[in-house]
């Protein structure tokens, strides 16, 4: 269970690291399945997010040579990754942060291969899956030792209080914040090194980024997003069902139609 101090820290800073939330046995099993997923399902090499931001974050000789592995919703390939969605430690912490009723939204592997694992520019996660309220929490589950030099997560404490910020978007890139305003050389951020089994909880309004993995080891982490059932995707009609998994509690009948046959 989270302490009141931890709960206050999350709401004040927009993030919270909980150490060893997953056991060594759980991490070993998840890691084994993730290695299989990477070997079996990883397609072409990717340099990571493309876009003009790379000129502001990388030397010229690295702008086209970084590497990344992204795998969405690994539970569709592995039962081990299905079970983690209901992990009692993760769900229990979320209940302390946003309430008893918790709905799963997505899972994405962010793996940085050794030596030139891709960086991520400063951004919020909100533009990737905009919803109509603040009660959306991303949980970064760490599978490897993640020291600073491996491209550990860095956050801007308190930035979640500003709510959604306009990002640069377009077919040429994924959303990122303008580097002339939001850049590590301009905007202070806090690094969060982590160990296997550690989980970082952060608001999807919290500004964050990460640097290149320059170690000789993989840096694998998996982001799992959850929100309250009252928090609905923007642009989706209120009468349209939002049938993502409930991992805790129930979803009350407010705007969605009752389930019935025609």
Range of the domain at 160: 4-247
Asked, for residue 252, whether it belongs to a domain, the answer is no
Contact 206, 160 (CB under 8 A): yes
Asked, for residue 206, whether it belongs to a domain, the answer is yes
Nearest to 168 by CA among 182, 151, 154, 150: 182
Read off the pLDDT of each residue in 197-201 and give the average, rounded to a whole number: 98
Asked, for residue 130, whether it belongs to a domain, the answer is yes
Asked, for residue 255, whether it belongs to a domain, the answer is no
> What are 105-137's pLDDT values in tens digits?
999 998 999 989 999 999 999 999 999 999 999
Asked, for residue 254, whether it belongs to a domain, the answer is no
Asked, for residue 256, whether it belongs to a domain, the answer is no
Q: Provide the 8-state DSSP code for 4.
A: H
Q: What does the DSSP assignment read for 76-141?
A: GT-HHHHHGGG-HHHHHHHHHHH-S-EEEEEEEEEEE-TTTBPPEEEE-SGGGS-BSSS-EEEEEE
Structure confidence at residue 43 (pLDDT): 62
Read off the pLDDT of each residue in 231-241 and give the average, rounded to a whole number: 87
What is the number of structural domains in the chain?
1
Structure confidence at residue 59 (pLDDT): 93
Binned at pLDDT 50, 70 and 90, residue 145 comes out as very high
Asked, for residue 174, whether it belongs to a domain, the answer is yes
Contact 196, 103 (CB under 8 A): no
Residue 45 sits in a domain whose CATH number is 2.60.120.620
> For residue 232, is pLDDT > 80?
yes
> What are 29-79's pLDDT values in tens digits?
999 999 999 888 876 668 888 899 999 999 998 999 999 999 999 999 999
Asked, for residue 164, whether it belongs to a domain, the answer is yes
Alpha carbon distance 41, 197 (integer Å): 24
């Amino acid at each position: 269970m989270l302490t009141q101090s931890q709960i206050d820290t999350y709401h004040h800073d927009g993030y919270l690291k909980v150490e060893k939330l997953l056991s060594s046995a759980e991490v070993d099993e998840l890691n084994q399945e993730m290695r299989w997923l990477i070997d079996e399902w990883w397609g072409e090499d990717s340099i990571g997010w493309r876009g003009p931001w790379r000129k502001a974050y990388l030397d010229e000789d690295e702008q086209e040579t970084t590497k990344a592995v992204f795998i969405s919703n690994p539970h569709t390939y592995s039962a081990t990754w299905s079970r983690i969605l209901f992990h009692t430690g993760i769900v229990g912490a979320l209940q302390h942060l946003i309430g008893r009723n918790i709905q799963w939204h997505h899972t994405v592997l962010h793996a940085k291969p050794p030596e030139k694992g891709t960086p991520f520019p400063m951004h919020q996660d909100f533009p990737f899956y905009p919803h109509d309220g603040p009660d959306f929490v991303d949980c970064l589950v760490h599978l490897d030792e993640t020291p600073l030099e491996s491209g550990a997560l860095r956050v801007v404490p308190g930035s979640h209080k500003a709510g959604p910020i306009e990002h640069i978007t377009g077919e040429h890139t994924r959303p990122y914040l303008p580097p002339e305003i939001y850049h590590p050389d301009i905007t202070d951020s806090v690094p969060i090194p982590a160990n296997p089994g550690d989980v970082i909880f952060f608001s999807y309004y919290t500004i964050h980024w990460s640097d290149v993995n320059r170690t000789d080891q993989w840096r694998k982490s998996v982001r799992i997003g959850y929100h309250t059932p009252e928090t609905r995707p923007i642009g989706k009609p209120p009468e349209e069902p939002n049938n993502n998994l409930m991992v805790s509690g129930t979803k009350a009948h407010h705007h969605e139609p009752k389930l019935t046959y025609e």
